[in-house]
Amino acid sequence: MPSASQVRTVTRCLSCRLRTDRFFCHLPDEVLRSFEKIAVPSRYPAGAILFAEGEEPKGVHLLCRGQVKMSMSSPGGKLLTLRVAGPGDLLGISATLAERDYHFTAEAMEPVEVKYIERGDLLRFLQEHTEACFRAAEQLSGKYDVACHSIRALGLSHSTAEKLARFLLEWVATHGGSSSGKGRVPIRVTHEEIAQRIGASRETVTRLLGGLRRQRIIRHEGAHLEILDRDALLHLMNS
């Protein structure tokens, strides 16, 4: 895998056109000015490793643009993808605050832009700015909720078809689909990566997706996914 060679960017938080209503983006201007003094903006190519499972944490990465895959591995080398992080996510905050080794590997799925903050600078910043401290707590709480949801989905699902149906519905809901769970959305994960997300084999995922396409429950063309029959997926998920 390629190394995470960095290329400095010039993006500033206060003038950034990518600002969203997530984590640090909408902090008061004076707090963002303090943040910019400690944040190092960088770019990473697709496939770059921001940090690896088992490494000692030196700081956190605030994801500004692109998607990052979070995965962990078994002693035998089997991979499990935990989630895909998007803009506004603060990567590695749990390990950094607790001074424990990273529990997962963060790999860029496409060219990404991040802002890196060293641990000491982060701790001082959170101590000095209450608003930022609350945002950090909110993100930690959100990660806990995601972890519980993932454990429930993997541990209590009865079949791979059920896990796949749940994954597809959630992907569309969180990547720009309508509230009804429909819409054509980008899906930049391979069959192998979907298999890692739901704890299945790539061959099984390929077979099940082929069946869903033939039944016109989904349309999967190139890098886009569309759910044609949401009720059918809900039935699979609840069967």
- The model's confidence at residue 120, banded by pLDDT at 50, 70 and 90, is very high
Task: Sketch out the chain's domains with CATH numbers.
Answer: 7-145 (2.60.120.10), 157-238 (1.10.10.10)
Residue 87 has pLDDT above 80, yes or no: yes
Please report the pLDDT score of residue 10 as a whole number.
43
Most confident of the ranges 75-79, 93-97, 187-191:
93-97
Measured distance CA(42)–CA(48) in Å, rounded: 12
What's the mean pLDDT when you consider all of the chain? Answer: 81
- Residue 71 — φ and ψ, nearest 5°? -140, 155
Amino acid at 163: K
pLDDT, tens only, 106-115: 999 899 999 9
Whole-number pLDDT of residue 117: 94
State both tokens at 238: 């609840």
Distances (CA, A) of 184 to 21, 107, 193: 23, 25, 20
Q: Where does the pLDDT of residue 23 fall: very low under 50, low under 70, confident under 90, or very high at 90 and above? A: low
Query: Count of alpha carbons within 13 Å of 210, Cβ hemisphere only?
Result: 6
Strand 105-108, strand 7-8: pairing: unpaired
Confidence bin at 38 (pLDDT 50/70/90): very high
The SS3 assignment for 47 reads coil
